[in-house]
Structure 1
């Protein structure tokens, strides 16, 4: 099982390899300079805290470190395996159960830094309908178990098999209002009865 200190240690190693302090690495990633400080690694109650997936993603991008390289830094044997399919495949039957969790044996597995979410899976983007946020070839990691809040990026599948990635504007008992990531495509409102499942996007690899 991956421990918090392994993740922090990997971030410290990336900072060291780039001749930076943890604060310097945070600045490079355009984060608050205190993001990786020792004081931020525990809660006020003294319990270990996980760095956010968003902050890790920004560090990997600016430091030009791949997910696989980061996983090796965390622990060569401790990285998780994430099932992945193409975005277009997500609309087909047999890949998800009724709750939107991945099922079946047709998924590709990839090594991925520990997300501490055994339900997470990956979708490979195809086309430009989600540009410039998600581009053709990007890998997005999705969590059906995570709570969803306004302004979260989400993937939604309709009962007719349509799959879309957009920003959640509002979610109510009658349906969800979604903002398109690509302004060339229309925003959407999907009634609750037409939603097969909706899941939060945790991470994007660009």
Structure 2
């Protein structure tokens, strides 16, 4: 469900992804610099103020983003954007640390070999999906140690999608797909303390879309 909190969090994250403050984002869109300030989100009498549809449209045009890509960085929204079937499904499970080792994936990012565990999670209707368990704190604030991500190597990729990528050197990372062309793949960090990463396509083994995350 789209809430007052998620829409403002999405605008905040969009600004960070483009290296801007919320004031800078507003100015880029041709709006008053204070339009998105925290003080403007709640009225003096305590009522919630929402950004106007016109303001959001101007922001999306200025940043060359879609509404879906803007919202894709907010976990609660993304969890409901792909319907989960009741009853759940058993999917292969692997830790991020193990995923960097050889023998667990084929050339397209599908799980193979021994050493996989199993976990029962919501059924997203994707028969190729598997689960990766987050270790460490490098993916905060969206993903924390112990969170489980459902990943699909067959789901189509779009700009703004949260993805897992594996390099030829065995590095496995959860990122935001910012740009993908024939000559380069630009991945932005979920954690604002980490700089974007740019790869030549041949440097990556595979990229798979994150469909769902436990919280």
Same fold (TM over 0.5): yes
Aligned residue for 2:123, secondary structure, equals coil
Give the aligned CA root-mean-square deviation in angstroms. 2.6
Contact 1:138 1:205 (8 Å CA) reproduced: yes
1:124-135 counterparts in 2 under 5 A? 124-135=133-144
Runs of 4 or more consecutive aligned structure 1 residues displaced over 3 Å after TM superposition? 26-31
Contact 1:57 1:205 (8 Å CA) reproduced: no
Residue matched to 1:115: 124
TM-score by length of 1: 0.64
Residue matched to 1:11: none
Residue matched to 1:170: 179
Deviations 1:56-92 (A, max 9, x none): 789xxxxxxxxxxx97xx24xxx32110110111111
Contact 2:148 2:214 (8 Å CA) reproduced: yes
1:30-109 counterparts in 2 under 5 A? 54-55=79-80, 74-75=86-87, 79-109=88-118
- Number of aligned pairs? 146
Q: How far apart are the structure 2 equivalents of 1:122 and 1:27?
A: 26
- What's the CA shift for 1:171? 0.4
Deviations 1:134-179 (A, max 9, x none): 1111111100000010110001000111111110100010121011
Q: 1:181 aligns with which of 185, 190, 193?
A: 190
Aligned residue for 1:55, secondary structure, equals helix
Q: How far apart are the structure 2 equivalents of 1:28 and 1:147?
A: 27
Q: How far apart are the structure 1 equivalents of 2:110 and 2:4?
A: 32
Residues 27 and 159 of structure 1: CA distance in aligned 2, closer, same or farther (over 3 Å) = closer
Q: Which consecutive unaligned segments of at least 5 residues does structure 1 have?
A: 1-25, 32-51, 59-69
Residue matched to 2:207: 198
Residue matched to 2:25: none
Q: How far apart are the structure 2 equivalents of 1:112 and 1:130?
A: 21
- What's the CA shift for 1:28? 7.8
Residues 105 and 177 of structure 1: CA distance in aligned 2, closer, same or farther (over 3 Å) = same
Does 2:160 match 1:151?
Answer: yes
